[in-house]
Amino acid sequence: MKSVLLATLFLLLIQIQKSTPSCRKRRLKPNIIVIIGDDVGHNDFSLHGSNQIPTPNIDALGYNGIVLDRYYVQNSCTPSRAAFLTGNYPIRSGLQGVPIVAGTNRSLPVDMPIMPQFLKKLGYKTHIVGKWHLGSNYRSRTPTERGFDTHFGYWNGFLGYFDYFTDFNNTKVEGFDLHDGFETVWRDMGQYATNLFTRKALEVIDNHDTRNPLFLMVTHLAAHAGRDGVELGVPNRTLTDLKYSYIQNPRRRLFADVVNLLDDSVGQIVQRLLHRNMLENSIVLFFSDNGAPTVGPYANSGSNWPLRGIKLTNFEGAIRGTGVIFSPLLKKRRYVNSKFIHVSDWLPTLYAAAGGNVRDLGHIDGVNQWNTLSQDAPSPRSEILVNIDEVENTTSIITHNGRYKVLTGAFLNGTKDSYFGESGRGTEVPPYNITRVIHSDTNQAIQKITNAPITEHQIVFTRAQVDLAWCRNANYTPFLNCSNACLFDLEKDPCETTNIIDEQPDLGRLLLRRIEEFSVFLVPQGNLTVDPDSNPQRFGNTWCTWLDDSWCVKTPNNTNLTPNNVNI
């Protein structure tokens, strides 16, 4: 009798527990949406002060959220994405140096757990749409074997904007590289990549069961050079030339539209989050993986003006990243954050925001920056190892909370170490259209949940704070020989105009010693030669996981399926 009574009481207590408001209001973990642009430079976003390429949606994400001013990425695609997903400097995974070339036996080591694997343990559904570029030599190295529930997109570094073909070893042999998990999706050939990836991202949001938290990465092809490493694909070239007639360089006109369409994608994704009532509990992060390759291989005519250097160098033009983040969960919003943040910090930062204990992540280079962002608190980070590339023989580190930077060596004999790219500040360029920012999809969606309209003054003020137009002083040296070492004071001289190593030799030596301390952790880059067995002709003209090819199509030399025979 007593026990029955006790049991009844117990059940009653559970009922009360269930209906208490604190329990019902328990917040679901935030959705995490990360959108990454490819090879888009500092000066290719209108929020940094150039009016040449309008990016109203990305700008509005920053104006309503946070614009990151001292946000550092790696100098190219593979290393940046590796650092983002692992929380580690790329030297620890052997992915420093040149990005993975299609058909080389390289990939993110499987014993290094990555962001979607950690988030899954917290209950997240995990999806990636677009580029992977962290290896596809074995099945086990592809996204759906690395913690993503789904992947729609491509495994290699770039492909055609319409035909989704990537070449083999810079030959005319090409392979189709569009996959849905392990299915090759020929049916989508001919669709414009930015629109296709956006549509797939919207499908993920539409089909998401909102009882679970969502982790969605959208890693666009835009604005990497496409087919043959040259194409800058747009849906309608006549329209593009019309829209950007004030830009002289015809390639930059194409590039402008590619970037503007990438910006549209961001707006559509934010709108869809609103429609599914997910935006109020989301973190939306946008960044570009690295600076633009203005000239040289895979040049896209993007611009890192006024910063020095381009993609693959260790100068600020390659690594001082563009990043904006919005979330209603950020306590402080609508400001420029100038704290020292590195791309490897997102893993612990987002994991902490998701309620995880960062100790679960083990020993990593990244640090939790959630309070740095949410409260503009001091950054727990004092230095960033920019890179050590044992093949190119280049090194760089930034120390003293972001103040001093040392570089050694010269990428491509220093030919990319000067200043490139358009300022976009000529009188022929139309003024910044603030109405367009206010009417943008992003801004409209965010206003619906914050009920606090952003003002013209706030926009102008934010934009002025992150405009670096002042930093290229009159007597700068276009060419610097950093073979031995260059030292810069980035606070005074973010444009790296003046090498101060002769004035401060002791400081220079201190920084170089710090690089030495990191070099013991370096995992070599491995074999950079293209493996003939990866030849797409062996797999019906598709890219397959050639070192583990039991599942691959084995139809050799299917010449009916080469891009030249595709009607697009």
Ligand X SMILES: *[C@@H]1O[C@H](CO)[C@@H](O)[C@H](O)[C@H]1NC(C)=O
Binding stretches for ligand X (CB under 6 A): 105, 169, 236, 238-239, 242, 393, 408-409, 413-414, 433, 435-436, 439, 481, 483-484, 527, 529-532, 537, 547, 556-557
Q: Return the closest-CA partner of residue 55 out of 459, 385, 500, 567.
A: 459
Bridging pattern class, strands 335-337 and 183-184:
unpaired
Q: CA–CA separation, 455 vs 426, rounded Å?
A: 26
Q: Return the closest-CA partner of residue 319 out of 80, 499, 94.
A: 80
The nearer residue to ligand X, 282 or 525, going by C-beta atoms, is 525
The nearer residue to ligand X, 119 or 480, going by C-beta atoms, is 480
CB atoms within 10 A of CB 193: 27
Beta strands in 281-340 (DSSP E): 282-288, 323-326, 335-337
Question: What's the sign of the alpha-carbon dihedral 62, 64, 65, 66?
Answer: positive
Q: How far is the CB of 116 from ligand X (least distance, A)?
A: 22
Residues 543 and 102: beta-carbon distance below 8 Å: yes
**Orientation angle between helical segments 56-64 and 441-450, nearest 10 degrees:** 20
Q: CA dist 108 to 141, 486, 533, Å? A: 7, 31, 20
Question: Of residues 133, 179, 220, 224, which has the active-site annotation?
Answer: 133
Token representation of residue 74: 């790696």
The nearer residue to ligand X, 450 or 557, going by C-beta atoms, is 557
The nearer residue to ligand X, 132 or 305, going by C-beta atoms, is 132
Q: How far is the CB of 552 from ligand X (least distance, A)?
A: 13
Bridging pattern class, strands 125-131 and 214-219:
parallel
Residues 6+ apart with CB under 8 A from 117: 146, 147
Residues 78 and 155: beta-carbon distance below 8 Å: no
The nearer residue to ligand X, 333 or 416, going by C-beta atoms, is 416
Question: Of residues 42, 48, 77, 544, which has the active-site annotation?
Answer: 77
Q: How far is the CB of 391 from ligand X (least distance, A)?
A: 10
Q: How far is the CB of 265 from ligand X (least distance, A)?
A: 17
The nearer residue to ligand X, 357 or 427, going by C-beta atoms, is 427
The nearer residue to ligand X, 439 or 492, going by C-beta atoms, is 439
Q: How far is the CB of 408 from ligand X (least distance, A)?
A: 4
Q: How far is the CB of 416 from ligand X (least distance, A)?
A: 12
Q: CA–CA separation, 39 vs 223, rounded Å?
A: 6
Q: How far is the CB of 530 from ligand X (least distance, A)?
A: 5
Residues 6+ apart with CB under 8 A from 207: none
48 is catalytic: no
127 is catalytic: no
Backbone angles phi, psi at 229, to 5 degrees: 70, 20
Question: Helix, strand, coil % (nearest 5) of the chain?
Answer: 35, 15, 50
Q: How far is the CB of 357 from ligand X (least distance, A)?
A: 32
Residue with tokens 């570029």: 133
Q: CA dist 473 to 145, 476, 496, Å? A: 50, 6, 10
Q: CA–CA separation, 567 vs 185, rounded Å?
A: 16
- Residues belonging to the active site: 77, 133
